[in-house]
Amino acid sequence: MKKILLSLLVLLFILTGCNTSSPKKAGLSHEAMMATSSRTEKNGWILIHIEGTPDVIGYQHGYLLADEIIDLRGAIGVLNESSTGRNWEFYRNESFRLLWGGVPEEYREELNGIAAGVNAKLGAGKIDIKDMVAINSFLEIPGYYVPWLEGQKKTTPPERCSAFAATGSMTTDRKIVMAHNNWSEYVVGERWNIIMDIVPEKGNRIFMDALPGFIHSGDDFNINSAGLIVTETTISNFKGFDTLGVAEFVRARKAIQYASSIDEYASIMVEKNNGGYANDWLIGDNKTGEIARLELGLKNHFLERTRDGYFVGANFPVNEKLMKEETSFDPSSKDASANMRRLRWEELMKQYKGKIDIESAKAFMGDHYDMRRNMEKAGRFSLCGHMDEDEIGKNEISWDGAYFHAGAVQAKATDSNLAAKMQFWARMGHPCGQSFNAGSYIEKHPEYNFQKEYLRDMPGQEWLLTGITTNQAIGK
């Protein structure tokens, strides 16, 4: 009898394994794996819809964005080597060694699926799992681990992004309005033009912008089907890294996929935090109208929340304890872009109290007022950053040269009504609509010629309303 029962259990296990929806195990054809995916392009954006099990989602992603992923790998490699002196092989090996052990099986399958999709499109051996981990950890290994490895002798991570969230008496309908613009080196930011509609086998549907190959947003403008709206700005002059922690790209993806409340989101981000990509996270819960700011360092984290007010982000640390223990930030410096942009945010929030809506949010993203110079000037002190046009260098971060090739490269804005439909407005390129010409820039500033192969134009674009239908990403 025991032998019969054992045989039945073994047979059941075999049948269950054969019934899995995994394409590798079920032998799905390329056509079957791609059946629930789509790609469209508009106003400088590439919009993709991917759906299914982790490996199917990954395969669809890799196949649809194969050329863009290979192109991004080259751009990141050039940028990393110029800023840290370490080549791509270092990043492949170190990111895999440090982070792969903390990647859950679900995301291992997705990352392997992306590599498989790229190789299916472009030919075997074009990319591998080490490349995928290095790409996804682009925001934490060069700027956080490498300075830690070198005893913080090098400059700290660059400041990235301007953002706000408002609710209650701050907005025209007393509901949430949130917006964010992405500050990045142009050589990478020009490629931050992917909008993903992800329908995973488990957890929430996700609508977000991202770099090609990312399983997370990276600059973190996300909406999920549980009613959360999330963005962030980095903490300037941050120092510290925990080599035993879990990658930020894993925690950020897990949080937006599985959290349905502010507390759940914060809990996932804090657990096993490695200090990589330290941020002030702005989180809105569309079910309650509440917004929150999670300031997440390595040693310290603080959660503030309100149903009547606002939170702004411009790369300044908020909590004094975190600032003193984990940064070298000077809150009194008038030469710090973060301080000047914070002043501009406070001025705008006061001026627009009760009048904030989606149109004013879009206008904030392209704002050029310089609080340091007290004038309209697109530069390193404006919410819409144009460091390439600014003669003042900054020494407190790694973007320290005058006329450095960085600034606001795209923007997104949403409100409660749009987020309920999983939609947001997006503008690729400078949020003000101004164009950037790569050839003219290199001609004027030959000291940045190292990136000539990958630096390209950013044409001025119009705002695009993006969102989801039943089964695909849309832009209209």
Q: What is the 3-state secondary structure (H, E, C) of 117-160?
A: HHHHHHCCCCCCHHHHHHHHCCCCHHHHHHHHHCCCCCCCCCCC
Least confident range from 26-30, 105-109, 240-244, 434-438: namely 26-30
Q: At residue 9, does pLDDT exceed 50?
A: no
Half-sphere exposure of 56 (CA within 13 A, CB side): 27
- Please give the pLDDT value at position 22: 46
82 and 448 in contact (C-beta within 8 Å)? Answer: no
Q: Are 400 and 393 in contact (CB under 8 A)?
A: yes
Task: Give a yes or no: residue 321 inside a domain.
Answer: yes
Quote the pLDDT of residue 110: 98
**103-125: average pLDDT:** 98
Per-residue pLDDT tens digits for 46-99: 999 999 999 999 999 999 999 999 999 999 999 999 889 999 999 999 999 999
Residue 244 has pLDDT above 80, yes or no: yes
Lateral strand order in the sheet of 279-285: 38-42, 45-52, 194-200, 206-210, 222-224, 228-234, 279-285, 290-296, 301-306
- pLDDT, residue 451, reads 82
More confident residue, 127 or 15: 127
What is the pLDDT, as a whole number, of residue 472? 56
Q: Is 235 helix (H, G, I), strand (E, B) or coil?
A: coil
CATH number reported for the structural domain that contains residue 264 in this entry: 3.60.60.30
Please report the pLDDT score of residue 297 as a whole number. Answer: 97
Q: Is 401 exposed, middle or buried (0-12, 13-18, 19+ CB in 10 A)?
A: middle
User: Is the pLDDT assigned to residue 15 strictly greater than 90?
Assistant: no
pLDDT for residue 474: 60
Q: What is the arithmetic mean of pLDDT over 311-334?
A: 96
State in Å, rounded, how far the first CA of the chain is from the last one. Answer: 65
What is the three-class DSSP state of 92?
helix
Binning pLDDT at 50, 70 and 90, where does residue 136 land? very high
Does 371 fall in a domain?
yes
In the predicted model, is pLDDT for residue 476 greater than 60? no
CA distance linking residue 244 with residue 89, whole number of Å: 21
Task: Report the pLDDT value the prediction gives residue 398, as an integer from 0 to 100.
Answer: 53
**pLDDT, position 400:** 65
pLDDT tens figures, 246-264: 999 999 999 999 999 999 9
- What's residue 366's pLDDT? 98
Residue 443 host element (H or E): helix 438-444
Is the confidence at residue 444, as pLDDT, over 50?
yes
- Its pTM stands at 0.92
Q: Would you say residue 239 has pLDDT above 50? A: yes
- 26 found inside a domain: no
pLDDT surpasses 70 at 147? yes
- pLDDT: which is higher, 447 or 208: 208
What DSSP letter does each residue of 12-52 carry, written as one string?
A: HHHHHHHT---HHHHT--HHHHHTT-EEEEETTEEEEEEEE
Domain membership flag for residue 7: no
Whether the per-residue pLDDT at 298 is higher than 50: the answer is yes
Predicted local distance difference test score (pLDDT) of residue 475? 60
The answer to whether position 22 is within a domain reads no
Among residues of the chain, what percentage have pLDDT more than 70? 90
Written as six digits, the tokens of 8 are 């039945």
Q: For all residues of the chain together, what is the average pLDDT?
A: 92
Domain of residue 397: give its range: 33-475
- Residue 20: its pLDDT value, please? 34
The fraction of the chain above a pLDDT of 90, given in percent, is 85
Work out the average pLDDT over 304-325: 98
Q: Is the pLDDT of residue 396 over 70?
A: no
Report pLDDT for 25: 52
Tens of pLDDT, residue by residue over 351-393, are: 999 999 999 999 999 999 999 999 999 999 999 999 999 998 6
Q: Per residue in 413-425, pLDDT tens?
A: 999 999 999 999 9
What pLDDT does residue 160 have?
Answer: 82
Does the residue 330 lie in any domain? yes
Instruction: Tell me if 111 is assigned to some domain.
Output: yes
Would you say residue 172 lies in a domain? yes
Residue 11 has pLDDT above 80, yes or no: no
**Residue 23 has what pLDDT?**
55
| Number of structural domains the chain divides into | 1
* CA–CA dist 259, 279 (Å, integer): 18
Could you report the per-residue pLDDT of 186-201, keeping only the tens digit for each? 999 999 999 999 999 9
